[in-house]
A and B are shown apart, each in its own frame.
Chain A
Amino acid sequence: MRVRIWNAYASNNSGSYTIVGSLPSQEIAREVAAELAAMIEAHTAWLEAEGADDVSGSPLAAFCNAHGLTWSDSDAMGDGWPEYSDDDRPRVAAVGSQVVVHHEYTLSLPSVFGEYFYKRGGRVQNEEEHAHHPIVTIATLWWWTKEQHAQGEIELPRLVEAFAAPDEVLVQFQATTWPTAWRVGDHGPMLTAGIVFANLIDGVAALNEIARKHGAQIQVRLYEAPSDEHDPFSHLRPSSPPPGVPRFDLVVVGAGDNRPRFIAMVSEALGLQEWDLRQQLLKLPCTLARSLSAPRAEGAAALLRRTGAVIELVRNDG
């Protein structure tokens, strides 16, 4: 008899969603955003409590009934609603006369959102279904009437300063991948800016607040970047006018001998995920963060150098 021994098991083989609606007015956009947010909150809580076996009595079904929208069971659960993230609620923001609905981790969201935009006299401007690369925001801020133009001439430099300021509100929401870039218009007071937000809805809401503060109109265009590796704002660089204070990229040349401590320090200094860091550090030198303000870049570099790492700061004004 022959005996053979081996070790094996049998085995087999085997995004984010964003929709932008353009509504007839800012007032209607705010109203639609509030209605959608309330429905989302109620529907997510209902799913959590009741499960997804029978969704005909769900808040989403009631919303469709109330507004004459197309109802489908599969919209309210499964592929049509987030299930596996820390927060399964899609988020909503009004930006000028637009409404943005987004969830960072879902197969899709119901078509009801787009249908409701049309129902309220608007249209779907863009839909990014099942995106894996970052969602890029291109924001245009401008002053509309002749009277507003005069205000714009005064406000535009302040707006640019707000975008470029090291500790401005936008920095809080900006992802560490590609730094914000901007350009002022040639015809009248206008600013076009490109931003990758770490949190899209908080980011566009902050943009909307900046526009309101400076009396500007705002419109955003959102789309999925074609890749993680290429700068989606090359057409806007170098930023014009340049920021008033210099900015720096944080480049790791050597990670030192204590890799776990270095990774923990980077997480603390820059808020980066350890998983992403491990991947980035496979190939040195690597740029951990781009276009940081001088104080932030120097602070992070000093902290990381304490672990024995070799860190360089490279000027990058965005």
Chain B
Amino acid sequence: MAFRSLPLDSALLLFDRETGTNMLFDGPELAHLRMRVPRSVMFGITNKCNLACAFCSRDLDAESAWTADEAFAMLAGLADAGVLEVAFGGGEPLAFRGFESLVSRLHDETPLAVHVTTNGLLLTPERLQTLRGKLGELRLSLYDNNAWRRTIALLVDEQMRFGINLLVLPERLAALETLVLELFALGCRDVLLLSYNGPDPALHLSPAQSADLANRVATLHRALRGRGRVSLSVCWGDRMAPVPQYLDRQGCGAGRDFIVLTSDKRLMPCSFHHLSFPVRTAADVLAVWNGHAGELAAPSTVPGCARLADYGLERLA
């Protein structure tokens, strides 16, 4: 293993990109340490997508302002500053021209761990073979219309390290365990449950449904112990209190632990935030991260934000 270190506030994180191993040291001996860069960058490199999902927060008509070379320069600069990981999303990142070459360059020429979240429809055995060994992790989004069983079979056949991103909508709640267990039966070992962030009241879980989900996740956690992992996105906040948590972290980390770079070259605290700042270079990113920390720590106005009272759902009701 080759660990890179990232100073945090009164703590030190060691991270190995090949295995995804994290070692967190904290205590009075490390009280002098301060975080100087975000740990990871979520990079929405294109808004282009071959799907048009009702819950998507992206403007699909927005062109990508990035070229592959510009994206590489930005990320190489951030890696030099200490950033550990980049996770490409979108839009559909595999629809970005030259995506495989960009991933390959980032892996070969920077110390960054490189990940991608995809709907999987553009994946082929050939593309996966190109990406294998270069990607830390591939996350497959599960939708009603993206033939995910077929993609999982492909990922298993090609021995890719992958996980599933599952958006938990009210209609999915009743059969959640069945679906998660099917995913594990198909060869998946990592399921991330996402909450909906957006203006449609019908897609948010009610408080009772959130409590129901927490119980179902706790049950799945016990049932799947040792076989794999079911985890929750940071946007759930304390709605998932009954679920065992490994780290006693405070807050969602948006704008601090991680930042989002958008397809039109702006920095956002998270994908669902109303605030954004124009950035051209890695130095711009760090200047915004350092100089606008207060604003980046503000709640999003988009319903579903864990920083909002009642998650902003009361005004939707």
Contacts and interface: CB of A to CB of B under 8 A. Distances in A.
Interface string A221-232: 000000000000
Looking at chain A, what size class is its interface with the partner chain? 20 to 34
A266 to B, nearest CB: 15
B149 A279 contact: yes
A5 B115 CA distance: 21
Given A52-B97, A278-B150, A10 B42 contact: yes
A275 B95 CA distance: 22
B21 interface: yes
Majority SS of interface residues in chain B? mixed
A275 B88 CA distance: 26
Given A6-B246, A78-B48, A84-B122, A11 B137 contact: yes
B139 interface: yes
B260 A1 contact: no
Contacts of A12: 42-44, 87-89, 117, 260, 271
B130 to A, nearest CB: 14
A131 to B, nearest CB: 10
A11 B149 contact: no
B39 interface: yes
A10 B182 CA distance: 24
B194 A13 contact: yes
A216 B182 CA distance: 51
A9 B20 contact: yes
B117 A11 contact: yes
Nearest to B272: A13
Interface string A1-36: 111111111111111000000000000000000000
A79 interface: yes
Looking at chain B, what size class is its interface with the partner chain? 35 or more
Interface stretch (B22-30, B72-80, B202-210, B293-301): B22-30
Contacts of B211: none
A278 B153 contact: yes
A84 B95 contact: yes
Contacts of B94: 84
A57 B93 CA distance: 28
A13 B93 CA distance: 11
A2 B31 CA distance: 13
Among B23, B28, B50, max chain A CB count under 10 A is at: B50
Contacts of B192: 11
B19 A11 contact: no
A1 B136 contact: no
Among A8, A78, A107, max chain B CB count under 10 A is at: A8
Interface string B183-196: 00000000010100
Q: Can you list the 7 inter-chain pairs with the closest CB atoms, starting with the nearest? A: A1-B27, A10-B40, A12-B42, A275-B150, A12-B89, A10-B85, A14-B89
22 contacts: A3-B23, A3-B25, A4-B24, A7-B22, A9-B20, A10-B39, A10-B113, A11-B139, A11-B163, A12-B89, A13-B194, A13-B271, A14-B56, A14-B93, A14-B165, A15-B50, A84-B94, A84-B122, A107-B49, A275-B147, A278-B150, A279-B150
Interface of B: 19-30, 39-40, 42-44, 48-52, 56, 63, 84-85, 87-95, 97, 113, 115, 117-119, 122, 136-137, 139, 141, 145, 147, 149-150, 153-154, 163, 165, 167, 182, 192, 194, 231, 233, 246-247, 258, 260, 271
Interface of A: 1-15, 52, 74, 78-79, 83-84, 105, 107, 130, 132, 275-276, 278-279, 282
